[in-house]
Structure 1
Amino acid sequence: MKRYCFALDLKDDEAVIAEYEGIHRSIWPEIHKSIIDAGITVMDIYRTGNRLFMIMETEDDFSFEKKDAMDAGNPVVQQWEALMWTYQQAIPSARPGEKWVMMKQIFSL
């Protein structure tokens, strides 16, 4: 198992945030399948204010390159990502075009 943690911001608008949370209470079945098919075994998203924190656990052979290729070839995933970006905004430290920014682990017990 591998674990990855990411950060992303939502647009700082209570109505936008509420709508985003509502969509995530019942994600599209094709999105759920694409996550599982990529080798992701756990995906949890937490929010404080407009900041999101995602924990992803994956199979040992998980590859971001493979997931990116799968997503690029899936029109439903592309539609989902375009919709999500209407709610999201990059965190200040993101590179141009980067959405979810991988966080560096600084402590482990």
Structure 2
Amino acid sequence: MRASTIALLAAAGLATVAIAAPAQAAAAGRAPSCLAYTLDDDGAQDELWVWNNCKKGVSFRVRLANGPDGYCTYKEPRSRYSKFTWEWPQRFDGLRTC
């Protein structure tokens, strides 16, 4: 969701806005591109497989729209995939570091 949309919703009393400290904002950024994934979102239940092709371990969180985000997960470098699932109306909104 865009910052301007969040600000409008907060002003209307429809959303609570928490401002992250600069260090927290930098730490919770977009996951590196070497953290690869495959998404199957063809049915009522979506499935996501994530594996780490990076040279170092990565902690990440699955971001979902219309629902709570996933928990913070650590993947060793060159590790086997992890599988995540969720139900509609939630949808995949990206991977973030944590």
Q: TM-score, normalised on structure 1?
A: 0.26
Structure whose alpha-carbon radius of gyration is higher: 2
- Name the one with the larger helix percent: 1
